[in-house]
C-alpha cells in the first residue's frame, strides 16, 4: 500500500504547502524576479562606469657607459693602434687613456621638442668604511653636451677621455700634500642626464645620475660601470572604463529572473486550473498518513482468521482513536496486509478502522467491497494451517508476519 500511495501523498503534501503559503511563495518569486531584473539591467544593459587610477610613464630613458682604450706604446702582445674596448681591466703602461661615452636614448609614443643634456665630471675622493665619511673630495669637469631635437629611439653620446696615469698622479699629489690618507681613495665618473620635452601633450623633464668607478692597481686600472639603466618618469592618471562583473552575477541575474517569472506563472496556473486547496477527502487521507507514521511502532501486519470477523464490530473514526483504544486495553493494532484495514481485538468485539484514499476520504464501514475482498482472500486461504492468536499482538512493535487459518 505504501508503494502505491506514496506518489499521491507527496503531491498532496506539496499542494497543501503551496496552498497554505501561496502568498508568501508568490511574493518570494516576484522578489526574485525583481532582483534578477535589476541584476540583468545593471550587468548587461547599463553596467555603468568606474574610475581607476593607474601609474603610467610617458617615456622610457636608457643610459649606459661605453669605454675603450687604444694601445699607444709598443709591446710584445698588442699592436700599436689596437683598440681594447668593453674590458673590465686595462693596462696603464700601454693604454693609459680611456675613451668614455655616455650613450642615451628614449622611447615614447608621442614626443616633440626633446632635448638631452649630459654633464659628466670626475670625482676623486677619500672615504671611510662603507662610504659613510668623506675625508676629502676633488671634482674635475669632463664634458657637458646638449642635443636638441632628439627623436624617439635615437641614441646620443657625450664623449670624453680619462687619462688614468694623470688622475692617479693627482690623487697621489693630494695625499702627499695632506700628509695622510685616512680612508680609501677612489675615482668616480659621475654623469647627470636630463631629458626635456613634450610627451603625450605634456611638458616633462626627467633626470638621472649614473656613476662609473675607476680603480688603479699595480700597472692596471679597472672600470666598474652599472650597465644599461632603463627607467622613466611616472605619473598617475584617472581612467574611466565600463564596469565589468564576474560570471556569478552575469549568469545568476538571468537565472534568477527566469526562476522568479516561471515560478509565479506556475503557481498562478496551478491555482486557477488545478486548484491547490485540498478536498475534505484529501485532508482526511493526509491525516491518516500522519497517524500511520506516528503510530507505526504500535501496528503489526498480520492476517487474522475468518472467525475473528464473525464478532460484533465497532468502528473507530480515526487510526489515532483505534491505537489509543488498543493501548488503553493492552492489545495490539493489526493491519491487514491485503485490505489495508486496521483491527484491534478485545474479548468478543472487533474494533476496526478502514483508511481513506485520496479520492474517497470516507472510511469503509467494514462490510463493503474492501472488507468482502479481504474476507474472500482469507477464505480462499483457509485450511492452510492454524490461525495465530490475534491477542498475541501486544503493544510492543514487531515485524511483519502472516498467518492463515
pLDDT at 53: 85
Domain that holds residue 374: 280-392
Choose one of 238, 263, 295: the last residue of a domain. 238
Q: Does the residue 43 lie in any domain?
A: yes
Do 211 and 254 sit in the same domain of this protein?
no
Find out whether 91 and 223 touch, Cβ atoms under 8 Å. no
Do 73 and 183 sit in the same domain of this protein?
yes
d(CA 205, CA 312): 115
Is this structure's pTM higher than 0.75? no
pLDDT at 181: 84
- Phi/psi-derived region of residue 202, left when phi > 0, alpha when psi is between -120 and 50, beta in every other case: beta
Find out whether 36 and 259 touch, Cβ atoms under 8 Å. yes
d(CA 205, CA 341): 101
Do 256 and 135 sit in the same domain of this protein?
no
pLDDT at 1: 44
Q: Does the residue 206 lie in any domain?
A: yes
pLDDT at 359: 62
Q: Does the residue 215 lie in any domain?
A: yes
Domain of 120, CATH number, reads 2.60.40
Do 72 and 144 sit in the same domain of this protein?
yes
pLDDT at 108: 93
Find out whether 376 and 309 touch, Cβ atoms under 8 Å. no
Phi, psi (deg, nearest 5) at residue 192: -100, 125
β-pair partners for 349: 346
Do 78 and 30 sit in the same domain of this protein?
no
Do 223 and 315 sit in the same domain of this protein?
no
Q: Does the residue 197 lie in any domain?
A: yes
pLDDT at 361: 44
pLDDT at 244: 84
Task: Locate 37 and state its grid cell.
Answer: 531584473
Q: Does the residue 156 lie in any domain?
A: yes
**H or E stretch including 63?**
strand 59-70
Do 146 and 194 sit in the same domain of this protein?
yes
Helices 280-294 and 319-328: crossing angle in degrees, nearest 10, is 30
Find out whether 9 and 348 touch, Cβ atoms under 8 Å. no
Q: Does the residue 154 lie in any domain?
A: yes
Do 161 and 290 sit in the same domain of this protein?
no
Task: Locate 281 and state its grid cell.
Answer: 477527502
pLDDT at 387: 36
Do 182 and 303 sit in the same domain of this protein?
no
pLDDT at 6: 47
Q: Does the residue 337 lie in any domain?
A: yes
Task: Identify which of 334, 344, 330, 405 has the alpha carbon closest to the alpha carbon of residue 375.
Answer: 405
Low-confidence ranges of the chain (pLDDT < 50): 1-7, 361-405
d(CA 151, CA 107): 8
Amino acid at each position: 500500500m505504501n508503494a502505491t500511495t506514496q506518489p499521491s501523498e507527496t503531491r498532496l503534501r506539496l499542494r497543501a504547502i503551496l496552498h497554505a503559503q501561496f502568498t508568501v511563495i508568490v511574493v518570494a518569486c516576484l522578489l526574485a524576479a525583481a532582483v534578477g531584473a535589476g541584476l540583468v539591467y545593471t550587468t548587461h544593459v547599463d553596467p555603468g562606469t568606474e574610475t581607476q587610477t593607474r601609474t603610467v610613464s610617458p617615456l622610457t630613458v636608457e643610459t649606459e657607459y661605453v669605454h675603450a682604450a687604444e694601445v699607444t706604446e709598443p709591446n710584445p702582445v698588442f699592436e700599436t693602434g689596437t683598440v681594447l674596448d668593453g674590458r673590465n681591466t686595462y693596462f696603464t703602461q700601454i693604454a693609459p687613456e680611456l675613451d668614455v661615452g655616455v650613450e642615451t636614448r628614449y622611447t615614447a609614443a608621442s614626443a616633440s621638442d626633446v632635448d638631452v643634456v649630459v654633464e659628466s665630471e670626475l670625482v676623486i675622493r677619500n672615504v671611510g668604511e662603507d662610504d659613510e665619511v668623506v675625508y676629502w673630495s676633488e671634482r674635475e669637469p669632463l664634458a657637458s653636451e646638449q642635443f636638441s631635437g632628439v627623436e624617439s629611439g635615437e641614441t646620443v653620446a657625450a664623449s670624453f677621455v680619462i687619462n688614468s696615469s694623470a688622475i692617479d698622479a693627482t690623487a697621489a699629489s693630494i695625499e702627499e700634500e695632506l700628509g695622510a690618507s685616512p680612508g680609501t681613495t677612489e675615482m668616480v665618473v659621475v654623469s647627470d642626464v636630463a631629458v626635456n620635452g613634450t610627451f603625450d601633450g605634456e611638458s616633462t623633464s626627467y633626470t638621472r645620475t649614473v656613476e662609473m668607478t675607476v680603480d688603479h692597481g699595480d700597472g692596471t686600472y679597472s672600470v666598474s660601470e652599472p650597465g644599461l639603466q632603463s627607467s622613466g618618469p611616472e605619473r598617475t592618471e584617472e581612467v574611466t572604463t565600463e564596469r565589468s562583473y564576474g560570471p556569478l552575477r552575469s549568469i545568476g541575474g538571468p537565472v534568477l529572473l527566469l526562476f522568479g517569472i516561471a515560478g509565479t506563472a506556475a503557481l498562478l496556473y496551478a491555482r486557477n486550473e488545478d486548484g491547490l486547496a485540498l478536498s475534505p477527502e484529501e485532508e482526511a487521507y493526509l491525516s491518516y498518513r500522519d497517524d500511520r507514521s506516528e503510530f507505526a511502532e504500535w501496528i503489526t501486519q498480520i492476517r487474522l482468521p475468518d472467525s475473528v470477523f464473525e464478532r460484533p464490530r465497532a468502528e473507530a473514526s480515526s487510526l489515532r482513536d483505534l491505537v489509543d483504544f488498543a493501548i488503553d486495553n493492552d492489545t495490539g493494532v493489526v493491519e491487514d496486509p491485503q485490505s489495508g484495514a486496521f483491527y484491534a481485538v478485545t474479548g468478543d468485539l472487533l474494533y476496526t478502522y478502514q483508511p481513506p484514499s485520496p479520492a474517497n476520504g470516507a472510511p469503509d464501514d467494514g462490510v463493503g467491497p474492501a472488507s468482502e475482498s479481504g474476507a474472500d482472500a482469507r477464505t480462499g486461504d483457509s485450511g492452510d494451517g492454524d490461525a495465530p492468536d490475534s491477542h498475541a499482538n501486544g503493544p510492543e512493535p514487531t515485524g511483519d508476519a502472516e498467518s492463515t487459518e
